Amino acid sequence: MRLFDPHIHMTSRTTDDYVAMHAAGVRAVVEPAFWLGQPRTSPDSFHDYFDSLLGWEPFRAAQHGIVHHCTLALNPKEANDPRCAPVLDTLPRYLLKDSVVAVGEIGYDAMTPAEDAALAAQLDLAAQHGLPALVHTPHRDKAAGLARTLDLVRESALPPERVLLDHLNETTVAAAADSGCWLGFSIYPHTKMDERRMVTLLAEYASCQDRILVNSAADWGRSDPLKTRRVGDAMLAAGHHEDEVDQVLWRNPVAFYGLSGRLDLRLPAPDSSHEGNSVLRGGD
């Protein structure tokens, strides 16, 4: 089973996770920019992080046979912090980089006016740069959050077929499916969405199977970087054909991020170092 995790925060994961992911079949990931777990204090903190997602993390992933791309943005939570919002002025030059395959994750957290402004501005940045957008839908008040998200998508220059709505569940999937956007589901160990419910939704929304993506998110909260594999296994157990598993867990993410024109699934040379640094220590 070949797996593409289209939304996973490898910055918060260990080397053991990379090893286990490769063993489970993960060969490609996209890492969206998000928060640090603690508040950033200036745009420069974003710049170092963006550089890490563009350089160090792809290098680290390649050591384990996994191709790494990223999406860059001012995340919804920090859009509310006036110390962070000015990163929108420097973001455009990062969006030119080859391994950036979307603007994201953008969207709503607490649905504030500052989040409205950041979301609208970044949907337009995506359109200007020929990139699709990864849009986080809020975990609280989900239905209202999705409705407001779709209003902003409609008002933006970005067509819905270039937007991936993520963190969907049973309360938001119908409206999201009607919108024409791509449908993303984050699978968690104990909360929000699990693989059994995902398989049920795949049956209910079989007509949308060519625009459904499944990810593990794997962020600072309790999470499992092998959730893509667990969904694949659950699909097979429920009677899905291997080709359907491949569509949802490989070809759909390739198609969505391929809209950027920048998705390159060839692994970099394994023995290269990153700016003179190697992860090999002690002669290992």
Site for Zn ion, rule CB under 5 A: 34
Identity of the residue, 109 or 245, whose beta carbon is nearer to Zn ion in the bound complex:
109
Q: Are 189 and 160 in contact (CB under 8 A)?
A: no
Residue among 274, 250, 276 nearest 263 (CA)? 250
Identity of the residue, 34 or 256, whose beta carbon is nearer to Zn ion in the bound complex:
34
Direct distance between the N- and C-terminal alpha carbons of the chain, in angstroms, rounded to an integer = 30
Identity of the residue, 34 or 257, whose beta carbon is nearer to Zn ion in the bound complex:
34
Q: How far is the CB of 215 from Zn ion (least distance, A)?
A: 8
Q: How far is the CB of 32 from Zn ion (least distance, A)?
A: 5
Contacts of residue 78, defined as CB under 8 A and 6 or more positions apart, other chains included, come to 35, 39, 40, 84
Identity of the residue, 63 or 137, whose beta carbon is nearer to Zn ion in the bound complex:
137
Q: Are 94 and 125 in contact (CB under 8 A)?
A: no
The CB-side HSE value for 233 (13 A sphere, CA atoms) comes to 8
| Tokens matching residue 177 | 């499916």
Q: How far is the CB of 280 from Zn ion (least distance, A)?
A: 30
CA 231 to chain centre: 17
Q: How far is the CB of 170 from Zn ion (least distance, A)?
A: 20
Q: How far is the CB of 193 from Zn ion (least distance, A)?
A: 13
Length, in residues, of the chain: 284
What's the rounded Cα separation, in Å, for the pair 218 and 228?
Answer: 11
Distances (CA, A) of 100 to 25, 87, 134, 257, 264: 23, 16, 12, 9, 11
Q: How far is the CB of 23 from Zn ion (least distance, A)?
A: 23
Q: Are 222 and 188 in contact (CB under 8 A)?
A: yes
Identity of the residue, 104 or 232, whose beta carbon is nearer to Zn ion in the bound complex:
104
Identity of the residue, 106 or 212, whose beta carbon is nearer to Zn ion in the bound complex:
106
Identity of the residue, 94 or 188, whose beta carbon is nearer to Zn ion in the bound complex:
188
Q: How far is the CB of 11 from Zn ion (least distance, A)?
A: 11
Identity of the residue, 30 or 245, whose beta carbon is nearer to Zn ion in the bound complex:
30
Residue nearest to Zn ion (CB): 34
The one-character DSSP state at 55 is I
Q: How far is the CB of 243 from Zn ion (least distance, A)?
A: 28
Contacts of residue 257, defined as CB under 8 A and 6 or more positions apart, other chains included, come to 6, 30, 69, 101, 102, 132, 263
Residue type, 214: V
Helical pair 142-155 and 113-128, crossing angle rounded to 10 deg: 40
